Amino acid sequence: MLSAWWNDGPCTSRRRRRLTGERIGINVARRTHAAAATIQARSLIRALSSVERFGASAEEALARSGLPFPFSEHPDARIPFLNFAAFYTAAADLTGRDDFGLQVGADTHLSAFDVLGYAALSCGNVREALLTLRKYFPVLEDGGSVDLVEEGDTATVQYRVRTDAGDTRQVVELGLAVILRWLQSILGEHWFPAQVRFAHEAPPDSAAHRRLFNSEVVFAHATNGIVFPVVCLDKVLGTADATLRDIMGRQLDEILHTLPKGGRWQYRARQAVSEGMRRGHSSVSATARSLAVSSRTLQRHLAEEGTTFRQVLDEVRQELARSSLERQDMSTTNLALMLGYSDISAFYRAFKRWTGMTPDGYRNLPR
């Protein structure tokens, strides 16, 4: 397959092109300097079963990384990237699998990318799909960023991780394995890169890396990245759909503008609000009591992380509302009461603000 693309002809431009575009991943990290970087909870959820499958305790891995057990976050919720990285490091240690991150990444399906996965498949060619991944990568996480570099006959998808995230080797290997699977989902399952680069030192045994990537693997490189012939970028996608691409793009733009500026206190507050809401106690005073601080102290910590209690409450309400309506596990009236709305009309107005549709309309969407 790769050789066939090589026969398509030389690249029309040999000069070095660095596709800078809008560095959203980096900019988000800078904007949230006072707060911790975050990542979608779904990225952790799928790893929990892998820990158990390899014969270790997911509860212990969560405890070592400062995350709660049982882990009950909605897949779209955000968790601190620092805790996420610590979980993968702990999981590798507990399972005795030095290649834990690599294996979890290898088992990743395109569905893990959710809306971003559909947006990529609807693009016209591979280059456009990769630029879409780069632009909207913060939807998945803002603890790292993805870039596309074209130089001569080669293209490289680079993955950078924040330097303040602690031990990130497992996360980097997870990331490149996931990117490999993402590329194979649009280039074909038998596609493999020319070279794979890791910035960290080589592990004692790198056989698993060579098997997965089926290519030259370089360690202690300046960057993390997957290298392949530049002509692959021009491959037209059979799933291209301009209308769907525009719809997915608008949805991803909305998500980007509402990403929480996650941090330790915001995460704790979200957990407390979610638990308290189910008991009918989601006020700032009740949340502060559950965290053993005063209301004023809680609000000060949240302000330091770039958010407010009202924003946290609104985000938790939105996530719980979406989840409940998708499961269809309670009436709209009971859901409004559970979320703390005094009347159902207030809930309808809030849900329309979040999604542009009514709760009943959202409930009835085909899934």
Q: SS3 letters for 50-105?
A: HHHHCCCCHHHHHHHCCCCCCCCCCCCCEEEHHHHHHHHHHHHHHHCCCCHHHHHH
Q: Which of 196, 225, 255 is the last residue of a domain?
A: 255
* 311 and 274 together in one domain: yes
Identify the weakest region by mean pLDDT among 230-234, 269-273, 298-302, 346-350. 269-273
Give the SS3 label for residue 367. Answer: coil
- Residue 32: CATH number of its domain: 3.90.1520.10
- Residue 275: CATH number of its domain: 1.10.10.60
Within 8 A by CB and 6+ apart from 297, the residues are 288
Identify the weakest region by mean pLDDT among 58-62, 239-243, 349-353. 349-353
Q: What is the mean pLDDT of residues 143-150?
A: 83
Identify the weakest region by mean pLDDT among 16-30, 69-83, 325-339. 16-30
User: In the predicted model, is pLDDT for residue 18 greater than 60?
Assistant: no
User: In the predicted model, is pLDDT for residue 204 greater than 80?
Assistant: yes
Confidence of residue 4 (pLDDT cuts 50, 70, 90): very low
* 197 and 328 together in one domain: no
Identify whether the C-beta of residue 307 lies closer than 8 Å to the C-beta of residue 260.
yes
- Amino acid 16: pLDDT: 29
* 140 and 250 together in one domain: yes
Residues facing residue 216 across a β-bridge: 195
Confidence of residue 28 (pLDDT cuts 50, 70, 90): very low
Confidence of residue 157 (pLDDT cuts 50, 70, 90): very high
Q: Which of 210, 230, 255 is the last residue of a domain?
A: 255
Identify whether the C-beta of residue 176 lies closer than 8 Å to the C-beta of residue 224.
yes
Q: What is the mean pLDDT of residues 280-308?
A: 85
- Amino acid 19: pLDDT: 29
Identify the weakest region by mean pLDDT among 31-35, 117-121, 344-348. 31-35
Q: What is the mean pLDDT of residues 273-292?
A: 85
Identify the weakest region by mean pLDDT among 19-33, 49-63, 206-220, 285-299. 19-33
Identify whether the C-beta of residue 91 lies closer than 8 Å to the C-beta of residue 61.
yes
* 251 and 110 together in one domain: yes
* 247 and 287 together in one domain: no
The share of the chain scoring above pLDDT 90, in percent, equals 44
Q: Which of 221, 255, 289 is the last residue of a domain?
A: 255
d(CA 260, CA 266): 9
* 69 and 100 together in one domain: yes
- Amino acid 12: pLDDT: 30
What is the overall mean pLDDT for the chain?
A: 83
Which residue is listed with tokens 């005073």?
285
* 35 and 69 together in one domain: yes
- Amino acid 305: pLDDT: 63
User: In the predicted model, is pLDDT for residue 172 greater than 90?
Assistant: yes
Give burial (CB, 10 Å; 0-12/13-18/19+) of 32.
buried
Nearest to 141 by CA among 111, 103, 113: 113
Confidence of residue 266 (pLDDT cuts 50, 70, 90): confident
Confidence of residue 263 (pLDDT cuts 50, 70, 90): low
Identify whether the C-beta of residue 81 lies closer than 8 Å to the C-beta of residue 141.
yes
Higher pLDDT, 32 or 297: 297
Model pTM greater than 0.75?
no
* 173 and 223 together in one domain: yes
Structure confidence by residue, pLDDT tens digits, 209-254: 999 999 999 999 988 999 999 999 999 999 999 899 989 989 988 8
Q: Which domain holds residue 308?
A: 263-363
The count of structural domains within the chain is: 2
d(CA 339, CA 280): 8
* 193 and 308 together in one domain: no
User: In the predicted model, is pLDDT for residue 35 greater than 50?
Assistant: no
Q: How far apart are the first and last CA of the chain?
A: 35
Other residues' Cβ atoms within 10 Å of the Cβ of residue 242: 10
- Amino acid 13: pLDDT: 31
**Quick one: tokens of 98?**
């030095």
* 192 and 132 together in one domain: yes
* 298 and 335 together in one domain: yes
User: In the predicted model, is pLDDT for residue 103 greater than 60?
Assistant: yes
* 85 and 224 together in one domain: yes
Nearest to 157 by CA among 173, 133, 174, 136: 133
Q: What is the mean pLDDT of residues 80-101?
A: 95
